[in-house]
Amino acid sequence: MYGLNEPFKWDEKKSGIKETDSKLIYDIDFEYIKGMAERMQMNKDKYPVGNWTKPIDIESLKQATFRHMIEVMQGNYSDEQKFGHLYALGCNAFMIIHQLKNEHSL
C-alpha cells in the first residue's frame, strides 16, 4: 500500500495493465479552463450566460481575437483579469469552433 507522500513504484508483476492507446488523455491545464470560465463570468452583464451558443458573426470573434493577440504580442497579458488577454483568446477560439460546428456563420 502506498501512502499519500510516498511515490508510486511500478511493478509489472504485481500491477494490472489498462489499455489506454485508443483513449483520450486529458493532459490539459484545468486552471486555464477555470480562468476562461471566470472571464466569462466577469462579463455576464454584457454577455448573458449561454450567449456563446447563439449565432455570432465569426468575423467579429476573429477581430476580438486579433485585438487580444495584439496585446499579448506587445507583452501585455493582463487586463482587468490577471492573464485576461490569454483567457480571452481561449474563449474566442472555443466560440469560433462552436459557430463553425453549428454552422452559425452569418
Q: Check residue 81 and report its DSSP letter.
A: S
**What is the spatial distance between Cα 37 and Cα 106, in angstroms, rounded to a whole number?**
25
Q: What is the pLDDT of residue 41?
A: 94
19-76 pLDDT tens trace:
677 888 888 899 999 999 999 999 888 889 999 999 999 999 999 999 999 999 999 9
CB count within 10 Å of CB 92 equals 22
**pLDDT score of 14 more than 50:** yes
**Which residue is associated with the grid cell 448573458?**
48
pLDDT over 80 at 6, yes or no: no
Helix axes 58-73, 84-101, angle to 10 degrees: 160
**Cell matching residue 60:** 467579429
- As a whole number of angstroms, the distance between CA 76 and CA 73 comes to 7
Domain boundaries, the chain: 30-101
Determine what percent of the chain falls in helix, strand and coil, rounding each to the nearest 5.
Answer: 45, 0, 55
